[in-house]
Structure 1
Amino acid sequence: MLFGKLLPREGNFFDMFNQHAERIVEAARAFSQLVANYGDQHLRDRYNLDVDSAERAADRVTHEVNRTLHKTFITPIDREQIHTLINTMDDVADLIQDAAETMALYDVQHVTEEITRLTDLNLKCCERVQEAVKLLARIAEPAVAESALKICEEIDRLESDADRVLRSAMSKLFREEMDVRELIKLRAIYELLESVTDRCEDVANIIEGIILENS
């Protein structure tokens, strides 16, 4: 019994998941504002910095989770689930930053309707991820587990919506865009934005697995 008491236990993993999810939403909201104010260079630069700041903060949380995982013998959920969840969540923040950076590097001159629609879907997905993550600490309660699963289903639907927007955007792009350079730029942006929802769906799938194994 004494040996068991001396072992490092649990760690505040759920708190750190919540902190990371908050940073994801911060990045998504900053990117949404960047898109909404794209015509204003000053605001564009400001929101780019906000995206970068949120992504760096998310990286710090990811590092802390992985560090704590190495020091903790007894964890509240499976160790591999903790590792996979936090790193997949970090991919979401990274992709949002990639999208903002790519728009700047490619010198995109205007925001298309498709960029706006994909950005809106990204923000909704990230907000739903945050809601689902908040419930992880209480998934032993059947009602909480059911609520989390419903949120994960909504993320799946949003990802499907983003798929449809991407397919429509690509079709329109290759039919109507005569400037090859602009086509290449927009294609890269569209694919990056859609990949954010893909990664959110991956997070939802991991959460579903955690719920099914632990509730």
Structure 2
Amino acid sequence: MLFGKLLPREGNFFEMFNQHADRIVEAARAFSQLVSNYSDPHLREKYNSDVDNAERAADRVTHEVSKTLHQTFITPIDREHIHSLINGMDDVADLIQDSAEAMALYDIRSMTDEIHRLADLSLKCCERLRDAVKMLSHIADAGTAEAALKTCEEIDRLESDADRVLRAAMSKLFREEADVRELIKLKAVYELMETITDKCEDVANTIEGIVLENS
């Protein structure tokens, strides 16, 4: 009887991964709306709150995965992969929240074109990440496994796009921004936002490993 209680519930880990991925997309969408409506203080406050709520919900899922992992004798995929996947995903949610908080902390007065582009790329990365995560429970199917790997490749390309935006933003910043304080603030925000796509790529690499080992 005890051994039976230690066995995992069917699909439970995958369900929690999907829940977390949905919270990541919620946070990324709220952050994108924050950037788009930054000039409106009331909307700025609303979308900041939405980001915070999504991040806290993601934290709860992370805690539940960790708890379930410790209580489960047999897992559907490698335990280390479960640990790496959920912690990497949680890092994505944290970085979205950190980026939103940095804008208030550094008293960013207006959004630049580069911030808009990085927010858009971050949202696309998070959406593709969610798509890849939702395929994990069906990677025994060769077609699904291939689709998951292609989705991870899309995340890699989006991260490369964000790298290029960051490099161009830095070049423009150091050429054109005369106010040293503004330069320092914007540099910090640009770099932090780009790490969202970096972390999405890290999670995509974990997903690739899961797919290749289990399909």
With the shorter chain as reference, the TM-score category is: over 0.9
Shift in Å at residue 116 of structure 1? 0.2
- 8 Å CA contact 1:62–1:86 kept in 2: the answer is yes
Confirm whether residue 58 of structure 1 aligns to residue 58 of structure 2. yes
**Unpaired runs of 5+ in structure 1?**
none
- CA deviations 1:98-119 (Å, max 9, x no partner) are 0000001111000000000000
Map 1:158-197 → 2, pairs under 5 A: 158-197=158-197
Partner AA of 1:154 in structure 2:
E
4+ long deviations beyond 3 Å: none
Give the alignment of 1:71-150 within 5 angstroms.
71-150=71-150
What is the root-mean-square deviation of aligned Cα atoms in Å?
1.0
What's the CA shift for 1:177? 0.4
The Cα shift of 1:6 comes to 2.5
Partners of 1:116 and 1:168 lie apart in 2 by 14
Q: Secondary structure at the match of 1:81?
A: helix
Give 1:9 deviation, angstroms.
Answer: 1.7
Which letter does structure 2 place at the counterpart of 1:157? R
**Distance across 1 between alignment mates of 2:198 and 2:5:** 38
Q: Deviations over 1:149-188 (max 9, x none)?
A: 0000000000000000000000000110000110011001
Q: How many residue pairs align between the two structures?
A: 213
* Equivalent pair of 1:7/1:74 in contact (CA under 8 Å): no
Q: What is the aligned partner in structure 2 of residue 10 from structure 1? A: 8
CA–CA separation in structure 1 for the residues paired with 2:157 and 2:23: 23
Corresponding residue SS for 2:208: helix
Measure how far apart 1:7 and its partner are.
5.3
How far apart, CA to CA, are the structure 2 residues paired with 1:6 and 1:115? Answer: 51
In the TM superposition, residue 148 of structure 1 has moved relative to its aligned partner by 0.3
1:207 aligned partner: 207
Letter in 2 for 1:90: D
The letter for the 2-side match of 1:53 is N
Q: 1:49: which partner in 2?
A: 49
State the 1:10 CA deviation: 2.4
Deviation at 1:208, TM superposition (A): 0.1
User: Where in structure 2 are there 5+ consecutive unaligned residues?
Assistant: none
Contact 1:92 1:199 (8 Å CA) reproduced:
yes
In the alignment, the residues of structure 2 paired with residue 18 and residue 189 of structure 1 have an alpha-carbon distance, to the nearest angstrom, of: 29
* Superposition map of 1:13-24 within 5 A: 13-24=13-24
Q: Partner amino acid for 2:4?
A: L
Q: Deviations over 1:73-106 (max 9, x none)?
A: 0000000000010000000000000000000111
Name the CA distance, whole Å, in 2 between partners of 1:7 and 1:48.
41
Quote the offset at 1:44 in angstroms. Answer: 0.2
Q: Secondary structure at the match of 1:70?
A: helix
